[in-house]
Chain A
Amino acid sequence: MEKFTKLITTAIPLSIENIDTDQIIPARFLKATSKEGFGKNLFRDWRFDQNNNPKEDFILNNSNYKGQILIAGTNFGCGSSREHAAWAIADYGFKVVISSFFADIFKGNALNNGILPIQISENFLQILLKTTLSNPNSLILIDLKEQTVLLEETGQFEKFEINSYKKHCLLNGFDDIDYLVSIKDKIEVFENKRLVK
């Protein structure tokens, strides 16, 4: 997994609440057997009409808005456990998703793919949405080590939570599978103990 330390970039504000993983990547695109190429269908039915023409009023189709951060309304990633949602977000080029609340499974899937889900207060979320919408060139600075999100334009910032294990993994590019395989002996001991019981 790629290391994550700091990020300075513009952001795309998507002011919609309860974005479920069916919207992020509809089920009909889950037939692929690799992790690549899901970005082109990210938010497919919001981005394109039924004749596959881009919908002009959807923000991802507005060339003024670019960047490696997606800012979205509360309860992001609810619904289906499909990791394809995280793959689609990564494949599109996002490194960070900012929201005031994340669904559990999505949060885990994002972290397992080197995407940092950052949960901030509803108040700061509204500031970020508003600022980036009115000024698409607004820069946002993410510092994982310090656990901060900073809006460059105004200097406003907020600290975010992440458990120290996951932080360590992201900073160093480690993933869970490396760790689990390293403790196989312990797992076997556990299995044997249960057999005796």
Chain B
Amino acid sequence: MSKTLFDKVWDAHVVTSIKNGPQVLYIDKHLIHEVTSPQAFTELKTRNLPLFRPKQIIATADHNTPTKNQHLPVKDLLSRNQLAQLTSNCKENNIELYGLGHPNNGIVHVIAPELGITQPGMTLVCGDSHTSTHGAFGSIAFGIGTSQVAQVFASQCVLAEKPKSMRISIHGKLKKNVFPKDVILYIISKLGTNSGTGYFVEYAGDVFQNMSMEGRMTVCNMSIEMGARGGLIAPDSITYNYIKGRKFAPSGKDLEKKMTYWESLKTEEDATFDTEYSFNAKDISPMITFGTNPGMGIKISETIPKSKDKSFKNSLQYMDFKEGQSLLNTPINYVFIGSCTNSRIEDFRVAANFIKGKQKANNVTAWLVPGSQMVVKQLKEEGLDVVFEKAGFELRQPGCSACLAMNDDKIPSGAYCVSTSNRNFEGRQGPGSKTLLASPLTAASVAVAGKIVDISKFS
């Protein structure tokens, strides 16, 4: 039978299958961070089990770290303890750790690709649902719970049932001011937040083929927001050019050998999918969410739809919006550009390009939180920090920050935040906070205007 890209990578990693049960899937790279790993290390200790393959694990501190004064001891005692445990666990088990202040430190899903750790055809897991990001390289990458983190520690494998396959194709050329974030918000708004549950998604068509790696990562990152464990895109010359020359990327003979494998990673023409969807690029406009799940999105210029659904009504009540209302001109007091969805260099270039020569509105607090130390270095080299500073934006140090508000970067109760992150759940950015998801360009335009504006109208 003809194979999909997903089949090829999955089947190459099956160690064995349990009769009428899951398969044992071998994991090439295991990424860990301070929040979902401590209990897994304890589990191993309790069972007196050794860590099986420490060289295949990379650790970073990102979820629970401050974005200011990272050179000072972390003020929050619980956070400091969690970070200290990560450090001692990594040391005891010979795991490479990129802790606070390390030049390779940053959000786990930003650093692994930029260091060349993420490569096509790999299996990759992390105790974080946005691990789906790495699928942008044509790898199988998915989030796992802490029990599974312990399983991978002990055996470098997970038990998993092979998911169903879905293909989402988008053809045509994206309109001006439409970004990868708008594409994925559009898809989720059309298909719903549980449409992908039980599936792995392949994104296909010229919209994705013409997308940069940063853009592909944004799309794959939010696969989980439609319930899919992961999403992937076939590797091509854009992928290879991104990887080549990075710190842990293969080179010379090794690269040649790998390239042969990578180039085989395409869905065969007559392969079939359990479910297929197709959209037209011309139908996609800049998007924004109005509710409390990522599927509740509209074109910025549209009005909020009507629904009899109780959860829908509760969601609008939480957001303090009404059916039929336009979001345009809604005053916004917080803007957050960051998170594993949109904190890469390209995202800051887009924002800076718009902001240059303008001023942030007085009513807005705007936090820019780069995804990694490398992004910080790069944006400084390009002089973007000066653009942001002149415009009144606050450039912070890397981390997950206000995406999940585990640290002090919280949006106050009742306040709206236009955010480039991935989740607009109730209280996600702090108790009582109201999140509107959008692209970095939309977020930048809101910060300058102090209210929601229709970015599709800007030249």
**B interface residues (Cβ-Cβ under 8 A, vs A):** 15-16, 18, 20-22, 24, 26, 35-36, 38-39, 42-43, 47, 49, 52, 63-64, 76, 78-79, 81-82, 85, 127-129, 143-148, 150-151, 154-157, 159, 161, 193-194, 197-198, 224, 227, 229, 293, 310-311, 314, 404-406, 413, 423, 425-428, 431-432
Given A31-B64, A73-B311, A81-B128: A176 in contact with B21 (beta carbons within 8 A)? no
User: Hey, which chain A residues are within 8 Å of B43, CB to CB?
Assistant: 177
B196 nearest CB neighbor, chain A only = A104
User: A72-101 toward B: CB 8 Å interface, digit per residue (1/0)?
Assistant: 011100111111001000000000000001
**Is the Cβ of B197 less than 8 Å from the Cβ of A112?**
no
**Is the Cβ of B311 less than 8 Å from the Cβ of A86?**
no
Cβ of A143 within 8 Å of any chain B Cβ, yes or no, is no
Q: In angstroms, how far is the closest chain B Cβ from the Cβ of A125?
A: 14
User: B85 touches which one: A33, A165, A183, A194 (CB < 8 A)?
Assistant: A33
User: Hey, which chain B residues are within 8 Å of A35, CB to CB?
Assistant: 39
User: B425 touches which one: A23, A112, A177, A180 (CB < 8 A)?
Assistant: A23
From A14-22, A53-61, A130-138, A152-160, the one touching the partner chain is: A14-22
Complex CA–CA separation, A50 to B63 (angstroms): 24
Max count, chain B CB within 10 A of own CB: residue among A17, A32, A183, A184: A17
User: Hey, which chain A residues are within 8 Å of B159, CB to CB?
Assistant: 165, 176, 179-180
Given A28-B406, A73-B311: A105 in contact with B129 (beta carbons within 8 A)? yes
**Is the Cβ of B197 less than 8 Å from the Cβ of A103?**
yes
User: Hey, which chain A residues are within 8 Å of B85, CB to CB?
Assistant: 33
User: B147 touches which one: A18, A31, A83 (CB < 8 A)?
Assistant: A83
**Can you list 21 residue pairs at the A/B interface with Cβ under 8 Å?**
A18-B293, A27-B404, A27-B405, A30-B35, A31-B81, A45-B432, A80-B423, A82-B35, A104-B227, A105-B229, A108-B144, A108-B145, A109-B145, A112-B148, A164-B21, A165-B21, A180-B151, A186-B16, A187-B52, A187-B157, A194-B26
**Is the Cβ of A180 less than 8 Å from the Cβ of B426?**
no
User: Hey, which chain A residues are within 8 Å of B143, CB to CB?
Assistant: 81, 105
**Is the Cβ of A33 less than 8 Å from the Cβ of B151?**
no
Q: In angstroms, how far is the closest chain B Cβ from the Cβ of A147?
A: 14
B18 nearest CB neighbor, chain A only = A165
- B-contacting residues, A18-70, CB 8 Å: 18, 20, 22-23, 26-28, 30-35, 45, 50
User: A112 touches which one: B21, B145, B426, B427 (CB < 8 A)?
Assistant: B145
Q: In angstroms, how far is the closest chain B Cβ from the Cβ of A37?
A: 12
User: Hey, which chain B residues are within 8 Å of A176, CB to CB?
Assistant: 147-148, 151, 159
**A interface residues (Cβ-Cβ under 8 A, vs B):** 16-18, 20, 22-23, 26-28, 30-35, 45, 50, 73-75, 78-83, 86, 101, 103-105, 108-109, 112-113, 163-166, 175-177, 179-181, 183-184, 186-187, 190-191, 194
B423 nearest CB neighbor, chain A only = A79
Complex CA–CA separation, A111 to B43 (angstroms): 16
Please count the residue pairs between chain A and chain B whose beta carbons lie under 8 angstroms apart in the complex: 176
User: Hey, which chain A residues are within 8 Å of B145, CB to CB?
Assistant: 81-83, 86, 105, 108-109, 112
Q: In angstroms, how far is the closest chain B Cβ from the Cβ of A115?
A: 12
Complex CA–CA separation, A18 to B315 (angstroms): 11
**Is the Cβ of B127 less than 8 Å from the Cβ of A33?**
no
B160 nearest CB neighbor, chain A only = A108
**Is the Cβ of B148 less than 8 Å from the Cβ of A108?**
yes
**Is the Cβ of B147 less than 8 Å from the Cβ of A180?**
no
User: Hey, which chain A residues are within 8 Å of B20, CB to CB?
Assistant: 163-165
**Is the Cβ of A83 less than 8 Å from the Cβ of B293?**
no
**Is the Cβ of B431 less than 8 Å from the Cβ of A165?**
no
Complex CA–CA separation, A105 to B229 (angstroms): 8
**Is the Cβ of A104 less than 8 Å from the Cβ of B198?**
yes
Complex CA–CA separation, A35 to B216 (angstroms): 35
A36 nearest CB neighbor, chain B only = B39
User: Hey, which chain A residues are within 8 Å of B224, CB to CB?
Assistant: 79
